Structure 1
Amino acid sequence: MTTHEMYTAGEKETLHASLNRHRDVVLWKLQGLDDEQLRRPMTPSGTNLLGLVKHLASVEYGWFVEAFGEEAEPLWFDPYTEDLTIGPGETTRQIADFYGRARAAADRVIAGRPLETLGRPSWRDTTVSLRWVLVHMIEETARHAGHMDIVRELIDGATGDHPRVTDTA
């Protein structure tokens, strides 16, 4: 969907396009960095770019897939204690591919259900609508994309939410 189309799209399409915009920012923040830079802890708590992507993949599976009764892929880590950390055996490709699969699984749930569809996350004693989950995941993804912007700036000075287009004329 183009930006212009998003301005007049329906509610579900607008929410999904907003989520996709922030998802794309997350992936863009990884571009041009080597493995060491992607894993480098940049805060006292250990925040790093690759750990944030792993976390976002985990929550996409949880909120969209598991909460709406679909089967998520088995996780090789504890999503409550290890989703923000990168183990020595985890590769950049593994984490990026994991995020891609989580995103695709979430997109199938979004496409196949109306916004009013109710789901129930296993870790909460509450019922949620797909609409609420979409809004929540826009917030979650945008929040962490902001973290990634700061971490990326600390690594190499790059900032922003999209590549800069330079005038070559």
Structure 2
Amino acid sequence: MTNSPAGGAGAEKDVLRASLDRHRDAVLWKLDGLDDEQLRRPMTPTGTSLLGLVKHLASVEYGWFVETFGGEVEPLWFDPYEGEDMWIAPDETTDRIVAFYGRARAAADRMLAGLPLDTLGRPAWRDESVSLRWSLVHMTTETARHAGHMDIVRELIDGATGVHRPAAG
């Protein structure tokens, strides 16, 4: 688990990134110990699954951090504008989706490291520019929201609950 620097008293960008990383780590923790069937099992009437939420979060990390600020997004095999980032196709493996999330996080982190918080970018799907600061706060909120969904889905699957991985020891 990533903790905020100096108990939240670090530089603004460091604190914001640590908060995002805490929720990113929780997303991956929700997958631990489950098999492929459990990870892709739809648990709501709309078809929400743990793996679908990870795929979605990878897609939006690329969108809000990379595409919005002029970085290169890897070619996608699905259409996020049609909601295809929320569901897992039969040929999409757990390893493929988790690796996709890792690449999206790494690409987002490169953009975050190289740009000031006041940098403006323009999402292709919006008519207005946003700052990197705004995108960072938005993605932290988005990731926390979906980590909460994942907590509920995980509880429905095997009863496991918790906001973050328990400390070792």
Note whether the superposition's TM-score is higher than 0.5.
yes
Aligned to 2:125: 123
User: For residues 1-169 of structure 1, what are the structure 2 equivalents within 5 Å?
Assistant: 2-3=3-4, 5-80=6-81, 81-165=83-167
- Secondary structure of the 1:68 match is coil
- Counterpart Cα distance in 2 of 1:25 and 1:90: 22
Q: What amino acid does structure 1 have at the position aligned with 2:17?
A: H
- Secondary structure of the 2:75 match is coil
**Cα shift at 1:3:** 4.2
Aligned-residue sequence identity (percent) comes to 72
Kindly tell me: are residues 115 and 166 of structure 1, through their superposed partners in 2, closer, same or farther at Cα, counting changes over 3 Å? closer
Q: If the length of structure 2 is used for normalisation, what is the TM-score?
A: 0.95
Q: What amino acid does structure 2 have at the position aligned with 1:48?
A: S
Q: If the length of structure 1 is used for normalisation, what is the TM-score?
A: 0.95
Q: What amino acid does structure 1 have at the position aligned with 2:164?
A: H
1:132-163 Cα shifts (integer Å, max 9, x gaps): 00000000000000000000000000001223
Q: What amino acid does structure 1 have at the position aligned with 2:19?
A: S
**Cα shift at 1:164:** 3.1
Question: Unaligned 5+ residue runs, structure 2?
Answer: none
- Counterpart Cα distance in 2 of 1:157 and 1:87: 26
Q: What amino acid does structure 1 have at the position aligned with 2:62?
A: Y
Kindly tell me: are residues 2 and 82 of structure 1, through their superposed partners in 2, closer, same or farther at Cα, counting changes over 3 Å? closer
- Secondary structure of the 2:149 match is helix
**Cα shift at 1:8:** 1.4
Q: What amino acid does structure 2 have at the position aligned with 1:158?
A: A
**Cα shift at 1:110:** 0.4
Please tell me whether the aligned partners of residues 16 and 134 of structure 1 are also in contact (alpha carbons under 8 angstroms). yes
Runs ≥4 in structure 1, deviation > 6 angstroms? none
**Cα shift at 1:31:** 0.5
Kindly tell me: are residues 8 and 69 of structure 1, through their superposed partners in 2, closer, same or farther at Cα, counting changes over 3 Å? same
CA RMSD, Structure 1 to Structure 2 (Å): 1.3
**Cα shift at 1:64:** 0.2
- Counterpart Cα distance in 2 of 1:103 and 1:117: 19
- Counterpart Cα distance in 1 of 2:165 and 2:49: 20
Aligned length: 167
- Counterpart Cα distance in 1 of 2:18 and 2:124: 27
- Counterpart Cα distance in 2 of 1:63 and 1:55: 12
- Secondary structure of the 1:115 match is coil
